[in-house]
Amino acid sequence: MTREADSDAPIQAHELFEILVREHEPKLRAYLTTLVRDTATVDDLAQESFLVAWRNLDRYDRTLPFGPWVRGIARKLSLAHHRKRATAKVAYVGDEIVEHLDALFAELDRCPGDTLQDQISCLRVCFDKLPAHQQSVLRLHYEQELDCTSISDETGRTREAVKKLLQRSRAWLGDCIAQRLSALGRDQPLGSPSLGGST
């Protein structure tokens, strides 16, 4: 990062920041999805977090990972958002839960892969271990964006049963992923270092 007089064209800080934005945008959105429910708000807060990070980039110590820093900003912005919307139906998840989430995302950073999709792929074994009917319900819910009522029409289960099934599937998946991340962390302490994965 030293200046070179004979450079063809200087790399501007914003170009480097663009790389960081590209690398971290999906994971930051995933992180914010756990804190706020509205997808438009997730997008807005992600945008705002990067903007705040950019404004302070000159103060940022580049030897430290970027991910936890920008996630820290996002967490505080989402908390401010919840405070402003004190009347909103969905409350802030709570500091204790957020600490656990931070730890899980930090472990995900260590997971091999250049992008979030690569990292998720390496956790796919957990999804494959789920019974077929649970996989099917999760697919209907997330991939086809069906709500519980539509899934209950589709599968012939009651709406309550679909809700419980979704909750149980996510809980089991969460436990499996956490254990796998922990194991990956032990087996591959360095993971596959990359700007996105390691930060």
Min separation Cβ 183 and other proteins, Å: 13
Q: Is 111 in the site for other proteins (CB under 8 A)?
A: no
Binding track over 117-156 against other proteins, x by CB under 8 A? x--x--x--------------x--xxx-xxxx--------
Q: In this structure, which amino acid lies at residue 90? A: V
Interacting residue with other proteins among 125, 153, 158, 175 (CB under 8 A): 175
Contacts of 192 by beta carbon, 8 Å cutoff, 6+ apart: 112, 113, 114
Min separation Cβ 133 and other proteins, Å: 16
* Span 70-109, contacts to other proteins by CB under 8 A: 71-73, 75-77, 81, 84-85, 87-90, 93-94, 96-107, 109
| Contact between residue 111 and residue 182 where contact means Cβ atoms under 8 Å apart | no
Report the alpha-carbon distance of residue 116 to residue 105 in Å, rounded: 11
CA torsion sign for 179, 182, 186, 187 is: positive
Position of tokens 């995302």? Answer: 105
Q: Is the Cβ of residue 12 or residue 187 nearer to other proteins in the bound state?
A: 12
